[in-house]
């Protein structure tokens, strides 16, 4: 175990972004599809419902989608997201940034931060279901493919985050 | 990162972006010795003189989807080529370069062109062109000319209803 | 042989192996950029730190230009790529919900995974919220099925919608992104 050291600074955003773009391009070249995140949650939820109450799983337009072919657990996005966890941990560990903590400003209680985090997760899930994707699957992947719906989603999602930001100033300053 | 590196990246993006605008289509360019299916269809329809279309697929290979007026490779008569100046050769997709070379060796006076994309392109672009039902009026008008060409050759112009699931459920979802 | 190399007919293990590798690269790049930090990420919406915009649009430009030129070189079949289908009204509504959730949670689903992997408990709660949200919305979705499936346009791209050449749209996106980068640098300088 090494002694706690000063975490390294973050990489240049343009350079990190270009690297991310190359990863996305590699995904297109190798498997013909882009990145994603929220789909993995939908697929795990579909798998859970299928175990507990199979009759509900088949009836849901969302879950039914993930219950074909290889089933909800071996969904491509699940494995990809597992890779995300590994890659993120690896990067953070190399830079000395892994630390168990609750990220919040001093003015915000830990409980309040966790409540906001959970509520935000709920809202994003609902949004991702109707939008058929999130920042990765729609905005980034669909954006690079010039998909109409992806650009609509990108614009509206950014606009509503900006619109709500003043109300949440206390949570993030 | 240094400002000059950022500027270099920005200029690279700008240059490749500007070149993309000039290029227009991301499809591979048509080679000098190639002709597009649409262009060939117009030549055939307009009864362009001196044109001969040659099917280079092995004898007996699907005779149903032969291009109108096309001769099989075996019947290509080099002697009777006096009225012919342009030969368009095609295969399923790409014509083997060695076939074109062999023909060229035998009749140097003729211009040989390969059909870009082969019979597959002929089917997709000439016989069965597709228009989206949500296309703009201008796109629909442009398609009308394609549809006419398609019907001339006995094809069927198709209308794609993108909202209606095609039956084949893709297992892929972006996110 | 032209890309994509691993089609739906290929063995599942091959595509899942790529999934893992691509995921590692994705997570590594996001963490390097600092987007595993909710405070850094939300800096976007207060003009403090516009990394989100810079990372996202740099990635988008690289991928978009890469696709265009790989296709032009005949190395990649653009038609074989999966374009997420467009559903106009559901996606607009979803965008509003998602954007609201994003500023409340401070992380998006992908960056929440990154953040959780670096030890942040708040990110774990975002992931829990995502999972519970998927369960609830998934179970209730039948009621809104008509809206969910409405205004479907299938795979629909800007060149088709605007009736402009693909390359022109690519150039416009490049110019807009570079202009946004320029403005972002100005904004950051102003708030620091």
pLDDT single digits (tens) A95-145: 999 999 999 988 899 999 999 999 999 999 999 999 999 999 999 999 999
Q: What is the mean pLDDT of residues B102-109?
A: 77
Nearest to A132 among B1, B171, B174 (CB): B174
Mapped onto helix, strand or coil, the DSSP state of residue C66 is helix
Q: What is the mean pLDDT of residues B133-161?
A: 93
Run of H or E including B52: strand B51-55
Task: Supply φ then ψ for residue B29, to 5 degrees.
Answer: -65, 155
B-C C-beta contacts closer than 8 Å: 95
pLDDT-derived band at B70 (thresholds 50, 70, 90) equals: confident
Q: Are strands B111-115 and B158-160 parallel, antiparallel or unpaired?
A: unpaired
Nearest chain B Cα to C61, which residue? B13
Chains that touch A (3 or more CB pairs under 8 A): B, C
Could you tell me what percent of chain B has a pLDDT over 90? 49
Range A149-154, long-range pairs (CB < 8 A, 24+ positions): A149/C84, A149/C85, A149/C86, A149/C87, A149/C88, A149/C91, A149/C153, A149/C156, A150/C84, A150/C86, A151/C158, A152/C86, A152/C88, A152/C91, A152/C92, A152/C95, A153/C91, A153/C92, A153/C94, A153/C95, A153/C98, A154/C95
Q: In this predicted structure, what is the pLDDT of residue B61? A: 66
> Is residue B142 within 8 Å of B134, Cβ to Cβ?
no
pLDDT single digits (tens) A29-87: 999 999 999 999 999 999 999 999 988 898 899 999 899 878 899 999 999 999 999 99
pLDDT single digits (tens) C48-104: 999 999 999 999 999 999 999 999 999 999 999 999 999 999 999 999 999 999 999
> Is residue A165 within 8 Å of A67, Cβ to Cβ?
no
**Closest by Cα among C168, C153, C154 to C68:** C168
Q: Do C72 and B29 touch (CB under 8 A)?
A: yes
- A17 vs C168: CA distance, rounded Å: 23
The burial class, CB within 10 Å (0-12 / 13-18 / 19+), for C11 is: exposed
Chain C nearest-CA distance from A5, in A, is: 15
Q: In this predicted structure, what is the pLDDT of residue B172? A: 45
Domain boundaries, chain B: 34-124, 131-160
Chains that touch B (3 or more CB pairs under 8 A): A, C
Q: Are strands C152-154 and C86-87 parallel, antiparallel or unpaired?
A: antiparallel
Chain A nearest-CA distance from C19, in A, is: 4
DSSP state of C152: E
Nearest to C84 among B19, B28, B174 (CB): B174
Class of domain B34-124: alpha beta
Q: Do A86 and C24 touch (CB under 8 A)?
A: yes
Q: Which two tokens stand for residue A9?
A: 């600074």
- A140 vs C30: CA distance, rounded Å: 13
Residues of chain C found within 8 Å of residue A149, distances taken between Cβ atoms: 84-88, 91, 153, 156
Chain C nearest-CA distance from A162, in A, is: 5
DSSP state of B108: T
Q: Do B14 and C175 touch (CB under 8 A)?
A: yes
- C130 vs B174: CA distance, rounded Å: 17
The burial class, CB within 10 Å (0-12 / 13-18 / 19+), for A130 is: buried
Q: Which two tokens stand for residue A168?
A: 């949440």
Q: Which two tokens stand for residue C182?
A: 């320029």
Q: In this predicted structure, what is the pLDDT of residue C27? A: 98
Residues of chain B found within 8 Å of residue A133, distances taken between Cβ atoms: 173-175
A106 touches chain C (CB under 8 A): no
A148 touches chain B (CB under 8 A): no
Domain boundaries, chain A: 12-100, 105-173
> Is residue A32 within 8 Å of C4, Cβ to Cβ?
yes
- What ipTM score was computed for the predicted complex, to two decimals? 0.96
Q: Do C167 and B174 touch (CB under 8 A)?
A: no
**Closest by Cα among C148, C136, C129 to A131:** C148
A49 touches chain C (CB under 8 A): yes
- Give the CA-trace dihedral at A9, A11, A14, A20, to 10 degrees: -140
- B127 vs B146: CA distance, rounded Å: 9
CB atoms within 10 A of CB B63: 11
Residues of chain A found within 8 Å of residue B132, distances taken between Cβ atoms: none
Residues of chain B found within 8 Å of residue C174, distances taken between Cβ atoms: 13-14, 16-18, 20
Q: Do B22 and C167 touch (CB under 8 A)?
A: yes
Q: What is the mean pLDDT of residues C102-113?
A: 97
CB atoms within 10 A of CB A173: 12
Chain A nearest-CA distance from B6, in A, is: 8
- B68 vs A4: CA distance, rounded Å: 78
Q: Which two tokens stand for residue C72?
A: 């032009």
Name the average pLDDT for chain B.
Answer: 85
- B37 vs C71: CA distance, rounded Å: 20
């Amino acid at each position: 175990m090494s002694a706690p050291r000063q975490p390294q600074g973050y990489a240049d955003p343009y350079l990190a972004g270009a690297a991310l773009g190359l990863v996305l391009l590699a995904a297109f070249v190798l498997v013909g599809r882009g990145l994603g995140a929220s789909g993995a949650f939908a697929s795990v939820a579909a798998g859970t419902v299928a175990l507990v109450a199979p009759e509900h799983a088949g009836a849901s337009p969302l879950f039914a989608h993930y219950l074909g072919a290889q089933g909800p657990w071996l969904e491509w996005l699940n494995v990809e997201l597992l890779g995300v966890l590994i890659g993120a941990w690896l990067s953070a560990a190399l830079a000395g940034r892994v630390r168990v903590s609750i990220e919040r400003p001093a003015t915000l209680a830990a409980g309040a931060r966790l409540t906001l985090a959970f509520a935000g997760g709920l809202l994003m899930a609902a949004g991702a279901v109707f939008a058929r994707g999130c920042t990765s699957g729609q905005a980034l992947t669909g954006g690079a493919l010039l998909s109409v719906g992806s650009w609509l989603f990108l614009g509206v999602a950014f606009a509503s985050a900006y619109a709500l930001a003043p109300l949440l100033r206390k949570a993030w300053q | 990162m240094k400002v000059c590196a950022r500027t270099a990246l920005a200029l690279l993006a700008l240059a490749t972006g500007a070149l993309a605008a000039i290029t227009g289509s991301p499809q591979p360019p048509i080679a000098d010795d190639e002709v597009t299916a649409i262009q060939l269809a117009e030549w055939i329809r307009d009864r362009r003189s001196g044109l001969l279309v040659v099917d280079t697929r092995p004898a007996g290979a699907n005779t149903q989807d032969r291009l109108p007026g096309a001769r099989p490779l075996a019947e290509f008569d080099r002697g009777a080529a006096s009225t012919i100046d342009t030969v368009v050769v095609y295969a399923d997709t790409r014509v083997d370069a060695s076939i074109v070379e062999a023909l060229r060796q035998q009749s140097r006076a003729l211009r040989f062109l390969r059909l870009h994309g082969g019979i597959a392109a002929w089917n997709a672009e000439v016989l069965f062109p597709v228009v989206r039902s949500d296309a703009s009026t201008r796109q629909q008008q442009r398609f009308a000319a394609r549809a006419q060409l398609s019907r001339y050759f006995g094809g069927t112009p198709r209308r794609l209803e993108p909202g209606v699931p095609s039956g084949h459920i893709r297992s892929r979802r972006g996110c | 042989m032209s890309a994509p190399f691993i089609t739906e007919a290929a063995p599942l293990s091959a595509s899942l192996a790529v999934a893992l590798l691509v995921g590692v690269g994705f997570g590594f790049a996001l963490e390097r950029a600092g987007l595993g930090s909710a405070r850094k990420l939300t800096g976007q919406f207060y003009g403090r730190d516009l990394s989100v915009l810079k990372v996202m649009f740099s990635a988008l430009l690289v991928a978009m230009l890469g696709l265009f030129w790989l296709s032009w070189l005949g190395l990649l079949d653009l038609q074989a790529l999966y374009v997420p289908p467009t559903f106009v009204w559901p996606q607009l509504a979803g965008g509003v919900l998602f954007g609201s959730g994003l500023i409340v949670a401070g992380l998006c689903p992908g960056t929440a995974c990154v953040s959780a992997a670096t030890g942040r408990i708040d990110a774990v709660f975002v992931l829990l919220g995502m999972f519970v949200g998927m369960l609830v919305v998934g179970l209730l979705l039948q009621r809104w099925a008509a809206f969910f499936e409405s205004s479907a346009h299938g795979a629909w791209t800007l060149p088709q919608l605007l009736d402009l050449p693909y390359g022109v749209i690519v150039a416009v996106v490049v110019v807009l992104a570079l202009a946004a980068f320029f403005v972002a640098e100005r904004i950051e300088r102003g708030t620091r």
